[in-house]
Each structure stands twice: as C-alpha cells, then as structure tokens.
Structure 1
Amino acid sequence: MIISYKYKFLFIGLPFSASSAITKELHKEYEGRPYLRKHSLYHEFKRVATKEEKNFFVFSVLRNPMEIAVTMYEKMKANAKGNFTNPNLFTENGGHISKKQRERFNFIHEKNASFQEYFIKFYNKPFDNFASITLDKCDYIIRYENITEDYKIALKKSGIKNPKDLPVENKTDGKKKDLSEYYTKDIQSLALFVFGPFLKKYDYGFPEHWTHTEIPLSARFLFYIGGIIRKWKWKLKKNSIRKSIKGSIYGDIQRKSN
C-alpha cells in the first residue's frame, strides 16, 4: 500500500497485479510512501487512517484470474527469488509464504507437474481474491491488460498532469503469452467452473477458442455463498506487522522511509 500526501492518493497493491512495479514508480516519481504492508487492504487502512487520508483518491489493479493462476504456477516452478524455500518468508516466521503455497511448490517439483496437473490438483472451487473487498472502495480501477494507459489515467485523475510511463518490473520467467498453451481442452470445463463466475462479475470475456462458455449453476451458487464467507474471514484475519524482506522493492522502500 502506497500513499502520497502531495498528490493525495492511495494505491492498494493486490498480489500478482503489478504492485511491485507501481509501488516503485509511485515512490520514485510521486512522493509515494509505504503505508502498512505491501498488500494491506482498504478495511485495514480505514481502521487507522485520518479523516483527511480517507478522502484521498484510491486506485488498484484488477487482473484476469486465469493469468494469475499461470503466474503463480510459473513463479513456483522457477522458485522465483528463492522465496518458496526461504524460511524467513514462511508465514509461521512472520513472512508471506504460506504452508498451502509450499505444498503446491513441493507438488510441482516432486512430480515435475505440468500446469494442467497442478490445476487439476489444486483448483476445485470457484476462484475469488482480495479484489472482492477492495475494488468497490476504489475511485478508479486499472485493468491489468490495459495497464499502460490505465495507470496514466489513474494518476491524471489524482491530479498529476503529465505522468510518466510505467516501467516493467518483476516479470515472471518462463511464462508463455498464449493462455491456450496452459488451458488445454482437457481442463477447460474445470477452468470454466473455477473462473467463470469471477470473469463474469468483472466483465472479462472467455478465451476465444473455448467452444462452451455456459457457467454451471453450481459454480455461481458456490461463488456467491463462498464470497460472503470469505469477506468476513479476510476482514477478521490478523495480519503480520513485519516489514517486507530486505532487498525487495517494498522492503527497501520501508527501510528508506524510516
């Protein structure tokens, strides 16, 4: 989470949605400062924000969950930055790498699992994420697939006259551009069940090569009921107050700002 008192904006960085690149640029160019944790959410901000801060312009990034799933797989497959084998980053030690993530990491490496095998193993219910308790609090939503233009629009809306282009940061190694190479025919029905309700809610289209795009009623129902439960669970969850790891973009900004 990045705040700028000069331009009166708040950026809420959701996981796997260009938060590192935007964080770095907002700090470098627009006097952005770290506020709470890297991925703190609006309800956490609201608990501690001043009356003035609550009136700041709020923006975040929405990304297609099919892209997020692929990014997560490729990061675990590559053990990006050694994160998944670094005990200092494990949640029980105050970090952000959960036991669930390590279970998935181990499955990929022990089984040499393909994306399809990984997806079948771990994706069995409708997808949802922190966007559900974030985006309705935003004044503007950047669409990841249109991030170059939307990023500049967000900054202009916050009062910055000539915003600079957003540099690319933290690019996922090994990731293929064409999603059809991941979502092959054998998992398309499952992917529709998992992602269909989220895609529909946020006006994402289905991949052009899919011949069947009718979302199962069971998926719609589970997404709705699960969403209610998840919102309360996420809001009640106690989050670590530990700083991000030294050497990370957010961690270094935190230490520099103190």
Structure 2
Amino acid sequence: MPASLTKIMIISHKYRYIFIELPHTASTAISSELCEFYDGQEILHKHAHYHEFLESSLKQEQDYFIFAGIRNPLDVITTLYFKRKTNHQNFYTTPEHWRRNGGHVSNQALKEFRFISENDASFSDYLTNFYRIPYDSWGSPRPENFDFVIRFENLQSDFSMLLDLLSIEQLRPLPTRNKTSQKTKNFMDYYSPDTYDHVCSIFGPYMKIWEYKIPANWGDCQPNFVNNFYFNLLTSVRQQLVWGSSPFAKLFQNFRAKSLLATQ
C-alpha cells in the first residue's frame, strides 16, 4: 500500500470477485474496465481497509475471488522519478492536488519533486537519497493475500487470464492509461553499475517474495543479513496492522483512516 494506506475495492456480486487497487500497477485502468464492462462497483470508501469489508460483508461475499496487481519495484521507482521530474499533470505545483489540501499528493512526494527540480537530480541521485531502507509497499501485500495477481509486465495476458478464471467473456483489450512522459528506455537501462549493490540490498528481499529476478549481468549481489532481517520484521508488523483483524490492528487502522480523512 502507499503511505496513505489507500485501498479502493471493486466488487461484483454477479461474477463474485473483489479487486483491491494497489498503486502503480495499472489499477486505475483495471478498475475502470471492471466497472464499465464487468459488473464492478466501488465499495466502502476511499481509505477503506480489507477488515472493514470483512466486518460489513455477508459470509458468502467473503468467499469471493480476490485479486490485485503487482509490478517490478525497479520499474515503479523509475516511473516515480520521471513523474516527479516532469511534474506529471502539474500535480506537484498545483496546491489543490496536495494531500494537505484534500488532494492525493503526499508531503513525501512533494519533497522528492523539489529535490529533483532544485538539484537537477539524476535518477541515481534520487535512488540513493530516498531509498535507504528495505523497500516494501506500506501494507506489505503478499501473494497469499490474493487468489490471483495481475503482473504489470503481463498486463494484457494476465487480465485475459483473470476473466477466463472468472468465466467472463472479454469484450476488448485493456486500454493503456496514464503513461509517464520522458521514460523512453527499458526501466533496467536507468540503473548504472555503481547502483547495483545498493539496489540489490534495498529491493532484493521484496523482489524475492514476488519472484522478480535481479539481472544476471549485475553479478552476484545479494541483500545482507541485516536488510533481510529488517525487511522481514517490518513485513510482519505491517501485515498485522494493515491486513489483520486484531483489536490493536483495528485501532491502528481506524486511527490512520480518521487522520487521513481529517486532512480532506
């Protein structure tokens, strides 16, 4: 999850599925397609947590087919860099888009934008300045949380496979949306040899869980014991806080949701 813990869920009672949006995975395009053509509808509210769905849903709804998207984090990071660098859709210079004013752009995103624009920072500069602890998306989604995962790298074929699993006839290819300007090369080409060890250490644990491979030509770089331990510790805590249903988890989730809603 992003730092906001935002999860929009799409449900279909006709086809018995639930789609959980995760950021930077073509989730907007998937959600729009599901709602327009495949009986999908948004449920709960913008800052909803899965436990809220479990508490408010009927028992049969809890058995629905759950799916989400995933994307290679090395691709995600290059995309974020170019969004900041190009001031994507003027989000970073238009105050109404800022979270403090009720929008979606976080203070951290603004900080990254200003760092890049004020220093004419390269991708390597951005990478080493803002990614210093083992990478994970905030809610630490894991393969076991879902019945199926649409990989961004196989977007069209995985979306077709999903519909086939749900016994739904596909009406058209999934449209492409929200392309990032100036990102003209394969994302791997933006990583220079002097960043390989850093990238392996920071992103390696997450990539291993989601079965993304470090390029063979990067050599035998591996995350160290400390980073692996730290990643596993944070994952365990985040899984309990965001996906869990314990009283403490619910207290955290409700507090976080109220804090976010208060800024809007």
TM-score range, shorter chain: 0.7 to 0.9
CA distance in 2 between counterparts of 1:230 and 1:8 reads 28
TM-score where L is the length of structure 1: 0.85
- SS of 1:160's partner is coil
Greater displacement, 82-91 / 142-151? 82-91
- 2-side partners of 1:157 and 1:125: how far apart? 37
Cα offsets for 1:195-235 (capped at 9, x unmatched): 00011111111123211232211221111112123334545
Equivalenced residue count is: 243
Whole-angstrom CA distance in 1 between matches of 2:96 and 2:54: 29
Q: CA RMSD in A?
A: 2.3
Of the candidates 175, 179, 188, which is equivalent to residue 171 of structure 1?
Answer: 179
1:248 paired residue number: none
CA distance in 1, matches of 2:192, 2:155: 27
Give yes or no for the alignment of 1:181 onto 2:189: yes
Stretches (4+) displaced over 6 A:
none
Q: Distance in 2 between matches of 1:193 and 1:45?
A: 36
| Aligned counterparts of 2:56 and 2:102: Cα–Cα separation in 1 | 21
- 1: distance between equivalents of 2:184 and 2:45? 30
Q: Structure 2 vs 1, CA of residues 44 and 174 (structure 1 numbering), >3 Å: closer, same or farther?
A: farther
- Say if 1:36 and 1:241, in contact at 8 Å, map to a contact too: no
* TM superposition shift of 1:96: 2.4
| Alignment correspondent of 2:130 | 122
- The one of 180, 186, 198 equivalent to 1:190 is 198
Residue 76 and residue 167 in structure 1: after superposition, are their counterparts in 2 closer, same or farther (change >3 A)? same
Alpha-carbon shift at residue 134 of structure 1 (Å)? 5.6
Tell me the distance in 2 between the aligned counterparts of 1:134 and 1:97: 25
Sort the Cα spacing of 1:131 and 1:88 in 2 relative to 1 into closer, same or farther, 3 A: same
> Which runs of no fewer than 5 residues in structure 2 stay unpaired?
1-8, 243-248
Q: Aligned pair in 2 of structure 1 residues 181, 40: CA closer, same or farther (>3 Å)?
A: farther
Question: Are 2:179 and 1:161 aligned?
Answer: no
CA distance in 2, matches of 1:44, 1:86: 33
Maintained 8 Å contact 1:152/1:163: no
2:10 touches 2:40 (CA, 8 Å); kept in 1? yes
> Which residue matches 1:35?
43
Corresponding residue SS for 2:18: strand
Shift, 1:241, TM fit: 5.4
**Residue type at the aligned position of 2:196:** Q
Is residue 2:177 matched to residue 1:139?
no
8 Å contact kept, 2:202–2:223:
no
Does structure 1 residue 66 correspond to structure 2 residue 67? no
> Which of residues 14, 18, 33 is equivalent to 2:22?
14
The percent identity for this pair of structures is: 35
- Compared CA separation, residues 93 and 116, structure 1 to 2 (3 A): same
Whole-Å separation in 1 of the counterparts to 2:238 and 2:145: 17
8 Å CA contact 2:143, 2:210 repeated in 1: no
